[in-house]
Amino acid sequence: MAQLFGDQDRKIFPRWRPFRETLKTGELSSIENAARKNTPIDDLLRLKAQWGKNRTPSFAADVVSAAVALDEPGQAKQEADFLLKAQSVPLPARSLAERILGIATVEPALDINDVLNAQSTRKKIHDIRRRLWDDPHNVIGWTELSFFFAVIGVHDKAISAMENALRLAPHNRYVLRSAARLFVHINHLGRAHELLLTNERTRYDPWLLAAEIAIADARGKPPKFAITGRRTLNSGIDRFHVSELASAIGTLEINASGSTRRGRRFIQDSLEKPSENAVAQAAWADRKFGMIDINGTILRQSPEAKTWDNYMIGNWRRALDASMTWFRDQPFSKHPPIIASYLSALVFQEYESAAKIAGQGLVANAGDPLLLNNLAYSLANQGKISEAVTALKNISLEGLPTEISAPVLATRGLIAYRSGNAIEGRALYMEAVERLNGHQSALLRANLHMAIEELRAGTPQANVVAVASLGITAEVVMPEVVMLRERLRGQFVESRKKEAISDHG
Amino acid sequence: MDVVPPVDAKHPVERLLGTTLDGGWKVVERFEHAVKDATGGNNSVGFIVENGEGKRGFLKAIDLASSNKFNDPPSVLQEMLSAYLNERNICTICKDRQMRRVAGSIAHGQAQVDGAIGLEGSVSYIIFELAEGDIRHAIDKLDHVDTAWSLRTLHDIAVGMDQIHRADIAHLDTKPSNALRFKDQGTKLSDFGKSLQRGRASLHENDLIVGDPSYAPPELHYDYLSPDWNERRFGCDLWLLGSMAVFLFSRTTMTGLLSSEMAGIHHWRQWRGGYLDVLPYVRDGFNRAIVKFEPTIWEGIRSPVIIIIRQLCDPDPHRRGHPINLSQSGGNNSIYRFSVERYVSQFDALAKRCELGL
């Protein structure tokens, strides 16, 4: 059974993206107020006067270059226009002229759209390595190299690249947040925390304070900078820069002090000018504790929040689309491929696509039992029984939490049914159902799945199991349960029709 | 060389025309292009002068009387005189040391023009070698700018820079308009109006950006001024030399290219944090600029030229310069650390390679 338990717990760990993507979020701007600095343009005006007397490409190019250097594009329109019409002007000069005239195209450094393609990611790694060969002090290059190694699940190289970045720029926000996220991703929470605890920049930077508090919270340790963080919230810094900090303090309030009311207040404050991550955290808090006011425009800023919002109301297609956007945004994270493969398999019965998504998720998260489970479920539904068995082969249920062990048992049950062993299938499903005691939605779904498999296998007990499942879910309004119930009802009606025909025959 | 606004005919400096100065130099015509003076204003006027042997020169006259146009004439006058003396001093050093790649002064002096008395009639001047134009004129006259020509020009400029550095002088305003072409003599570095000599007090000593800001290295735009004189001044010259290479191959400057590759939030006009904080982003922009610039260089010499530019224009002033100099100077900022001597040899070798078609 493909399974999803929703986002039980969420910490506002830093997001980790390639540099150009992170730039777009605005989180790398300076905390200080950014009034535009004046630069004298007397020299530029002199260059323009020279161009007035020497209307040639070299003089025009000199003006254009100076205007771009001083970020005064309005001063060089005429010269830029001249340059674009002139012959044999080298490309960089043309490109600056186009920029002056506002016709330059902005190319992304790294195309994030194909980040889920392992081959293309390997090509990116190759390109970045070449860039680093030319400039080994390129901090951004090392951080991105680490990112793409994490995306393809090569953790030792991801760590080594990140260590280089940390050596070169130990106090840089982008590097520190990326490093912290890497260590969280590979379950080195202690290392992630230590990195922030010992860095002198953390106490001054709200983005790092937020990360320290969230990681300490995840470790179950008291954050070192909670008081500093609270003080920073009221220090007059632009609300965007403290949105994740407010969110982290709010989450900590709920988790550590049990004060849902105070926690909600901080999280609500984080929405004044939120980062994407702060929106996702607030949407999670709202699902879990309610009473957070998030308007639709803000919610749509976060593909993660959009995924869960659509999922909760059974808007499956939108949920799947949003989950894929979320996956492309955080391609090393296991959470988006889990929900995307789940929706694709269970709701849309697009098993090939679901297997592909689960497979992509497993690249960065090798051995993740839920992704393996969703992969096995999708393979079994395609009739690829031996591959499905292989996918689940190495999962030991010992020590696994119910949220993982129950779906694995159910999928093993499904494989048994599909292998013609209904007795074993039923037993495995029953064991899953037993483990799911207390998890109402999952338990009902397991029941419905088992009934569907009984009907499919045409066992003597099929009708009884189906009727019982339809009965216990009749009043349930949870979208997934409703969707599965209707599927079972359809199959049950079909099965009865076939029986009737065969009786008459 | 720059264009000056028309000068008031009543001004004594304008009355120089037709006069004969010490050394037999006759002021024969106004020069359309004049050097902007070291105060950064347009208080100097250019003339063509000629001596009895028919040798022509460029005269830069300081319009001391123009100080009256300002609110605080005594301080402006002091500034102008100080700038003039600084330039004259540097020109004298260059002349005494016979720097062959520096457009040096031929003479300097003081003239008293007719019809005015005291300060009103006093004109200080420096006479320079007369150039054919700057490298932009030369580029525009060539049918095509070949790599050998660009490298030879770079070599000439590097030699000029090396010569002044050996005299503890930082040029600080190396740019296309200050790289002058002389008939049969190649290119020479000119205009010492903004130059500083180590250990000698100057008006601009404490300025962040001394030369033209549109060519200045990024650390200065981000208000980072190294406490070490060599690093902040010779380091700036290295950047400017690298930027000249960029101009010769691409008609852009490294400062322009870098600016175009910087995200708005990290651009020097926007950023309010420290330079070390923004440096990784500047370096990213720099690497992107290099990628854009690279194809303009002929493949045969692309790799060594790019390596040179990377070293000269490293956005981190602590890493700027030749790696051997960096390692051998043992981390201290001795003048050797910023020496351009190795680049002189490299540009020469590369130019020869291209000239011989190797």
Supply the pLDDT for residue B1. 40
DSSP letter for B109, please. E
At B102, phi and psi to the nearest 5?
Answer: -120, 130
Q: Which two tokens stand for residue B52?
A: 């009895």
User: What is the chain B residue with the closest CA to A22?
Assistant: B263
Q: How far apart are CA A203 and CA A437, in angstroms?
A: 45
Mean pLDDT of A85-97: 93
CB contact under 8 A, B214 and A43: yes
Q: B178 to chain A: which residues are within 8 Å by CB?
A: none
Chain B positions touching A131 (Cβ under 8 A) are 287
Q: Is A34 on the interface with B (CB under 8 A)?
A: yes
Pick from B3, B176, B212: CB nearest A53:
B3
Residue A7 CB neighbour total at 10 angstroms: 17
Is B247 in contact with A70 (Cβ distance < 8 A)? no
Question: B260 to chain A: which residues are within 8 Å by CB?
Answer: 68, 95-96, 99
Would you state the pLDDT for residue B31? 79
The alpha carbon of residue B288 is apart from the nearest alpha carbon of chain A, in Å, by: 9
Query: Is B251 in contact with A59 (Cβ distance < 8 A)?
Result: no
Cβ contact, residue pair A70, B214, below 8 Å: yes
pLDDT value at residue B23: 87
Stretches where chain B sits below pLDDT 70 are 1-11, 32-43, 116-119, 145, 330-331, 333
| Res. A107 pLDDT band, cuts 50 70 90 | low
Q: What's the pTM value of the predicted model, to 2 decimals?
A: 0.90
Cross-chain residue pair B267–A23, CB shorter than 8 Å: no
And the tokens for B327? 């390692």
Q: What pLDDT is attached to residue B70?
A: 77
Of A298, A182, A165, the C-alpha closest to A243 is: A298
Beta strands at B169-170 and B186-189: parallel, antiparallel or unpaired: unpaired
| Nearest by CB: A172 against B136, B280, B287 | B280
Are the CB atoms for A280 and A304 separated by under 8 Å?
yes
How does DSSP classify residue B230?
A: I
- B residues 327-356 closer than 8 Å to A (CB): none
Pairwise CB contact (< 8 Å): A92 & B137: no
- Cβ atoms of B180 and B243 within 8 Å: the answer is no
Residue B34 phi/psi, 5-degree rounding, is -130, 160
Is A4 a residue whose pLDDT tops 60?
Answer: no
Q: CA B72 to CA B163: how far, in whole Å?
A: 38
Is some CB atom of chain B closer than 8 A to the CB atom of A200? no
Contacts of B328 (CB under 8 A, 6+ apart): B336
Q: Where are the beta strands (DSSP E) in chain B?
A: 2-3, 20-21, 25-30, 33-34, 44-50, 56-62, 105-112, 122-129, 133-134, 169-170, 179-182, 186-189, 196-197
- For tokens 């651009």, the residue is B267
Chain A partners within 8 Å of B279 (Cβ): 169
Name chain A contacts of B208, Cβ cutoff 8 Å: none
Residues 104 through 123 of chain B touching chain A, CB cutoff 8 Å: none
Partner residue opposite A58 with nearest CB, options B136, B249, B255? B136
Contacts of B259 in chain A (CB under 8 A): 68-71
Q: Name the 3-class secondary structure at A164.
A: helix
Q: What is the mean pLDDT of residues A216-222?
A: 94
Q: Which pLDDT score is estimated for A7? A: 64
A80's tokens: 């830029």
Average pLDDT of chain A to the nearest whole number: 92
Burial of A396 (0-12, 13-18, 19+ CB in 10 A): exposed
Distance, CA of A179 to CA of A166 (rounded, Å): 8
Residue B48 contacts residue B60 (beta carbons within 8 Å): no
Exposure on the CB side of residue A452, measured as CA atoms within 13 A: 22
Of A43, A89, A140, the CB nearest to B284: A140
Residue B163 DSSP symbol = H
Least CB–CB distance from B256: residue in A46, A66, A109: A66
Among A11, A447, A54, residue whose Cα is nearest residue A254: A11
Put simply, the answer to whether A90 touches B136 (Cβ < 8 Å) is no
**What is the spatial distance between Cα A158 and Cα A145, in angstroms, rounded to a whole number?**
7
Specify the pLDDT at position B68: 75
Task: State how far residue A138 is from chain B, nearest Cα, in angstroms.
Answer: 6
**Residue that the structure tokens 């700036």 belong to:** B236
What token pair was written down for A325? 């956007």
| Closest Cα in chain B to A61 | B251
CB contact under 8 A, B292 and A174: no
CB atoms within 10 A of CB B206: 8
Stretch among A30-44, A291-305, A443-457, B94-108 having the lowest mean pLDDT = A30-44
Asked if B256 and A64 come within 8 Å (Cβ–Cβ), the reply is yes
Chain B 10-49, CB below 8 Å of chain A: which residues?
A: 32-33, 36, 40
Q: Give B23 to chain A, closest Cα distance, Å.
A: 32
Write the CA distances from A357 to A117, A193, A327, A372, B79, integer angstroms.
11, 31, 9, 11, 72
Number of helices and strands (H, E) in chain A? 27, 0
Query: How confident is the model over A105-123, as a mean pLDDT?
Result: 69
Q: Which of residues 37-96 of A touch B (CB under 8 A)?
A: 37, 39-40, 42-44, 46-47, 49-50, 52-54, 56-59, 61-62, 64-71, 88-93, 95-96
Beta strands in A209-257 (DSSP E): none
Please judge whether A49 and B268 are an interchain contact, meaning their C-beta atoms are less than 8 angstroms apart: no
Over residues A80-89, mean pLDDT: 93
Nearest-CA distance from A484 to chain B in Å?
49
Across the A/B interface, how many CB contacts are shorter than 8 Å? 177
pLDDT of residue B40: 41
A266: closest CA of chain B, how far (Å): 27
| C-alpha dihedral, A378 to A381 to A385 to A390, nearest 10° | 10
Owner of token pair 């879990």: A288
Structure confidence by residue, pLDDT tens digits, B30-71: 876 544 433 344 567 889 999 988 889 999 988 777 777 777
- CB of A198 within 8 A of CB of A170? no
ipTM of this predicted structure: 0.90
pLDDT at B268: 94
A137 to chain B, closest Cα gap in Å? 8
Which chain A residues contact residue B2 at CB under 8 A?
46, 49-50
Question: Which of B259, B272, B293 minimises the CB distance to A68?
Answer: B259
Would you say how long chain B is, in residues? 358
What's the gap in Å between the CA of A337 and the closest CA on chain B?
31
Cβ–Cβ under 8 Å, residues A446 and A1: yes
pLDDT at A291: 85
Identify which of B251, B253, B267 has the shortest CB distance to residue A57: B251
If you measure CA to CA, which chain A residue comes closest to B307?
A134
And the tokens for A91?
């490309």
Q: Give A154's contacts (C-beta < 8 A, 6+ positions apart).
A: none
Instruction: Look up tokens 């691409």; give the residue.
Output: B250
Report CB contact under 8 Å: B251, A46. no
**B165: closest CA of chain A, how far (Å):** 25
Helix (H) or strand (E) holding B26: strand B25-30
Strands B169-170 and B179-182: unpaired
- State the DSSP string of A90-148: -HHHHHHHHHHTT-PPPPPSS-GGGTT-HHHHHHHHHHHHHHHHH-TT-HHHHHHHHHH
Beta bridge partners of B105: B128
Please count the residues of chain A.
Answer: 505
**For position A2, what pLDDT does the model report?**
55
Token pair, residue A365, equals 């998260």
Which residue of chain B comes nearest to A43, CA vs CA? B212
Q: List, as ranges, residues 355-394 from A with C-beta within 8 Å of B.
A: none
- With a cut of 90, say whether residue A353 has pLDDT above it: yes
* Interval A372-395 mean pLDDT: 95
pLDDT at position B32: 62
